[in-house]
Amino acid sequence: MAMMSSSGSAPEGQGTQQLASTEGKVLIVDDEGSVRRALHTTLLGLGFDIGEAASGEEAIELCRIVKYDAVLLDINMPGKSGIETCADLRKMRPRLAILMLSVSDDHERKVKALEAGADDYVTKPFHMRELTARIRAALRRTRTATTADSEEILTVGDLSLHVARRLVQKAGSAIHLTPKEFELLHHLMANRGLPVTHERLLHAVWGAQYVGQVEYLRSFVRQLRRKLGDDAANPRYLLTESHIGYRFADSAEWPPHRRIQQRS
């Protein structure tokens, strides 16, 4: 990897102690030790708290026990590939900033990385100054989203979803949902009033590898409707958009008028 670490060094007279209080935890995932060491040294000097993993499998295990803010993930690794690792990490940590590193500028590879959940794609060789700017930009986006989510309560009619508490209530009574049911409901309520395609829901909740598994999605919708007390023949909350996907009722549609909907 060609890197210009001198362009990414801290400005003269600015101590790393001051920076350390404002930067985050970054995990470097690359099977080449020399690459990990070079990135480690430079980013540490810029105030980041650094961890290392030599494989996708190791990265996943580390992310189970350490709350990293960002991951620099090499796309070409033996064993579990960068794309597969990215998809697994995204399911584990929806708000984790993931930046893919690759020597390839191939358009299809970029698309696959982004579909797997990557926030950014950086082509080698790169300037350390550019990489650092991209890391900070990704961290700003995820931190802004996390702050907004922590204060967010989505409400439609007598149904409310508390994002940070992962709590769903109907008329004040809690409804127990599995993690995937909660994510599905959250995605639909966050886009209430708008049709959401089968493909988008499958990608957002389960990952790119599930796109096309419409029957799998329908089974979850049936479970979700049952727990919400929503009649599939005449739903109040989770509406079917024929041949497209689903739409969660908007507050403007509440209280609902009787409507005939196609069963999922």
Is pLDDT of 145 > 60?
Answer: no
Which CATH number does 153-253 carry? 1.10.10.10
- Per the listing, tokens 């500028």 go with 105
Q: What angle do CA 116, 118, 123 make, to 5 degrees?
A: 115
Residue-level pLDDT at 255: 63
The sign of the dihedral angle between the CA atoms of 206, 210, 214, 216 is negative
In this prediction, residues 183-191 reach a mean pLDDT of 90
Would you tell me how many other CB atoms lie within 10 Å of the CB of residue 116? Answer: 25
Domain ranges of the chain: 5-149, 153-253
How far apart CA 167 and CA 153 sit, in angstroms, is: 9
Output the average pLDDT for the chain: 82
DSSP code, position 29: E
Residue-level pLDDT at 237: 92
Helix axes of 33-45 and 128-150: crossing angle, nearest 10 degrees? 70
CATH superfamily of 5-149: Response regulator (3.40.50.2300)
Categorize the per-residue pLDDT at 223 as very low, low, confident or very high, splitting at 50, 70 and 90. Answer: very high
Token digits for 187?
């995605």
